[in-house]
Amino acid sequence: MDISLVGSINIDLVYRVPYIVNKGETLHSASHSVHFGGKGANQAVTASQLGANVHFIGKVGKDDFGEQAINNLKDRGVYIDSVQKEGATGQAMIQVTDAGGNAIVLFPGANFLVTPKQIEQEAAIISSSKVLLLQLEIPLDAVEKAVKIASQHGKIVILNPAPSQKLPDSLLKNITILTPNETELAQLTGIETTTEEDIRSACKLLLDKGVGTVIVTLGSKGSFYINHVESGWVQALSVDTIDTTGAGDAFNGALAVGLCRGDSLRSSIDFATKVAAYVVTQMGAQPLILQSVLK
């Protein structure tokens, strides 16, 4: 079960607040904590805890945060030989509300120093893994390079288009599975995603551009998946939510594991739904995953 993961590594500075601060307002935070984060790192840690061999390709800063973030990945079983050090480590300032929602301000730092050249140097890792998993917290040209290498070798390419940005058709046609949330789907396609019919239409537009399967994550409403053969709605599980930060990342990491071990699309989505529901019951974006709870 080898997954190559091209993506971001951050330190998350988390503030618990009664609500998301308004413009011009100073708001007291009830508690402050520092966690390991970054969409790439969160997905990598999830997949590794679920038994995959995860090879991380990315960058941290030449600072204490960078050292700590690399050690954390190593401790969680992620292979870090392809993580380079340059500049300052990425940071995310995250407000988490009492209801579990969040708002994030991102300083990309070293993540934005990942280049196509660095990816090219790691072509052997990408071409020998079963799945390539990526997000959009690193420069798009680096994402494009990794996807090109993986698709030339017939690999499963999962792109979590977060944070959202317009994507070229030349990239979309090489994506096996695209996993936007509702907002990202709307931004990617220019189609409002208010109703189920809107969501279907937006997904169809992406399928017409060559995306293999679209899985739309809808938070407490579950998810919708569609390709040229099948489609369906998957219900979210009802849990006591503490912190939704990293729920999407857990979903993507688990999805990659399911597909990597040869499970069907539907059962990989069911598995990812279960893992995401479990991690929102804990603080931070990289909680411990107890396999026994997922049975």
Q: How far does CA 239 lie from the centroid of its chain? A: 21
- Beta carbons of 294 and 278 less than 8 angstroms apart: yes
List Cβ neighbours of 24 (8 Å cut-off, separation of 6 or more).
none
CB of 178 to ligand RIB, least distance (A): 17
137 interacts with ligand RIB by CB under 6 A: yes
CB of 236 to ligand RIB, least distance (A): 17
Q: Which is nearer to ligand RIB, 212 or 246 (CB)?
A: 246
CB of 57 to ligand RIB, least distance (A): 17
Q: Which is nearer to ligand RIB, 104 or 207 (CB)?
A: 104
Q: Which two tokens stand for residue 185?
A: 């789907």
Peptide bond into 168 cis (omega under 30): no
By rule CB under 6 A, what count of residues binds ligand RIB? Answer: 16
The dihedral over CA atoms of 120, 124, 128, 131, expressed in degrees to the nearest 10, equals -20
Which residue has 């392809």 as its token pair? 82
Q: Which is nearer to ligand RIB, 104 or 218 (CB)?
A: 104
Q: What is the DSSP letter of 228?
A: S
Q: Which is nearer to ligand RIB, 92 or 211 (CB)?
A: 92
CB of 105 to ligand RIB, least distance (A): 10
User: Is 249 one of the annotated active-site residues of the chain?
Assistant: yes
Among 249, 275, 276, 277, binds ligand RIB (CB under 6 A): 249
Angle at 105 between CA 254 and CA 32, to 5 degrees: 85
Smallest CA-to-CA distance from 179 within 197, 195, 167 is with 167
245 interacts with ligand RIB by CB under 6 A: yes
12 interacts with ligand RIB by CB under 6 A: yes
Stretch that binds ligand RIB, among 6-14, 64-72, 188-196, 267-275 (CB under 6 A): 6-14
3-state secondary structure of 295: coil
Q: Which is nearer to ligand RIB, 69 or 211 (CB)?
A: 69
Q: Which amino acid is at 203?
A: C
Smallest CA-to-CA distance from 277 within 211, 223, 203, 202 is with 223
Active-site pick, 63, 75, 240, 249: 249
| Backbone phi and psi for residue 119, each to the nearest 5 degrees, phi listed first | -65, -45
- From residue 60 to residue 79, the character string flagging contacts with ligand RIB as x (rule: CB under 6 A) and all else as - is --------------------
**Dist CA 9 CA 111 (whole Å):** 7
92 interacts with ligand RIB by CB under 6 A: yes
Q: Which is nearer to ligand RIB, 103 or 123 (CB)?
A: 103
Among 4, 7, 10, 136, binds ligand RIB (CB under 6 A): 10
Beta-bridge mates of residue 214: 178, 226
37 interacts with ligand RIB by CB under 6 A: yes
Helix axis angle, 39-49 to 64-75, nearest 10°: 20
User: Contact positions toward ligand RIB, by CB under 6 A?
Assistant: 8, 10, 12, 37-39, 42, 92, 104, 106, 137, 245-246, 248-249, 285
Active-site positions read 249
